[in-house]
Amino acid sequence: MALHGLVLFCLTYLLATATPGPGIGAILARVLGRGKEGLAAFIAGYVVGDLIWFTLAATGMAMLARTAHTLFLGIKYAGAAYLLYLAYRLWTSPMKAVDDSGTPPQESGLRLFLASLTLTLGNPKVVIFFLALLPTVVDLTNMTILAFLEVAGAICTILTSVLTAYSVTALRARRLFRSPRAVRWLNRSTGTVMAGAAVAVATRS
pLDDT in tens, the chain (205 residues): 788 889 989 999 998 898 877 788 788 878 877 778 889 999 999 999 999 999 988 887 655 555 555 666 676 677 677 667 767 766 776 555 445 444 445 567 888 898 889 888 878 778 888 877 888 888 888 888 999 999 999 999 999 999 999 999 888 877 766 555 656 666 666 667 667 766 766 666 5
Core vs surface per residue 52-83: b (16+ CB within 10 A) or e: bbbebbbeeebeebeeeeeebeebbebbbebb
Say what the pLDDT of residue 178 is. Answer: 55
Domain boundaries, the chain: 23-31+38-93+108-203
Say what the pLDDT of residue 194 is. Answer: 63
Say what the pLDDT of residue 102 is. Answer: 45
pTM exceeds 0.75, yes or no: no
Say what the pLDDT of residue 30 is. Answer: 81
